[in-house]
Structure 1
């Protein structure tokens, strides 16, 4: 049995599809579904169970001898969330509890960290797993801080020689785009936000730059196609790779103008881009540049190439967003 927390979410549901396609299972989803269409993210999967997060502890006790891996993707992922107490309970406490459970029961454990831990990027994007390296990072929001605190705590335990799960990895996801993100509202990828505007032949307004080193639309991020993320996580499940904390991006930063242009061209149109002021509340916490250093993953043995931005956007638009059923 493989448990995927946040399994009805964006990355979690894509991971489920990958696990099912490779014959892994039984698969159990731990998540909130709510009143919207989030359930459609998992409607095509063959699942052993779907349980609310509050039911996770008894589920673990009941199936302790049958659980072969836990993928902990569940979190409050909104970088704009300001309720730090809620973030602590959801993002920090549950991750540490699952780490302890997997250690005690000798179950492989894989969890979602984030590129938000790097803050404004002044300290670079090096996924070195050491207390001095992690201590230099300054996340810009409570979400990034919560992921960073977990990374630092686990690093402390590992460096102290404390017991760990038999195999484990934390993944610092960069800017992921792909199917099954409709439920994320304002936190949807920019591809998803641009698509309905572009398909009507209208111009999409990107944020203006409020940084002298970046032109409007020239803010750069490491955008990564969700299927690349899934393939890396499956590789860690199926391969005795070194445990540790790993960046998960492409290693190449591209501008938001590049991303927007790719959306229009995937629809057979010339780009139509305008610019609007960034909200003042967002400006102090905005990342103008992210680019994953991918040396560590490559040195661990992962050899698959990452999908180019234009190709990933084309697949997303043509294979999902332009279809009657856009869910994976």
Structure 2
């Protein structure tokens, strides 16, 4: 099959070429959107990532250009209009799981860095400053951590927390019985957030979870608590979080995702004036740590993404069962 691969970088090309099962790949650095959809003419399929836009208008262009398949090299699919794709008869396949440990470990890295301020210590020592002033952290042992969402990544994160001796409270509409048996306490969202020292988000972005962290839910947080988001930027109302940081209700913030990341992440703007006022405000806080959607970025995860992507493509090409198809409902 002829496949147009969008939003690609050197690491994407390396892993997709390495695990290619015999398809013709054309790589585009550009993201897929209304302006770039014309590039898909004469391709059989497209392969996209988190910041590509496949809405109703884009899908209409894809259909007209002869595209028969949309393949996501990620788990999330909120950037694709599934209903419109279904109407046009274009299957949407995804990678439902790729090294959940990678994202879970990155969430823990954000926690440890924010808490023990190792990023600040690193810069100080390089400048000859060996002072410990304002570097004090807290023990994770016996601290309450609220885990919102205990799917594959949330489960892996809980297992890491158990190794640190944390008290784990969780919220999920489908509680994990194995985690519950291991000592994870499930409750309502309100119960889970109450008195938590750390809140970590691991749930998908849906209508029911959109901006679930907002002015109202932030009032349930323990004053000075830490918030970690390695899931989807839309889970957080950024302006409300900024207000909570400003007034001290929120003590720490670690983000690997951001509401408006599509305009920033994966790009180098070091020589430009960034126009996003919210990200500039967040960067200005000394108790905020932001990474640019790198939680998934390990060798193991990239290998699993590539192999599953081609498994999906091969299944479509051979008219086999599409186990990883995204369906409505």
Structure showing greater Rg: 2
Taking structure 1 as the reference length, what is the TM-score of the superposition?
0.34
Q: What's the TM-score once normalised by structure 2's chain length?
A: 0.34
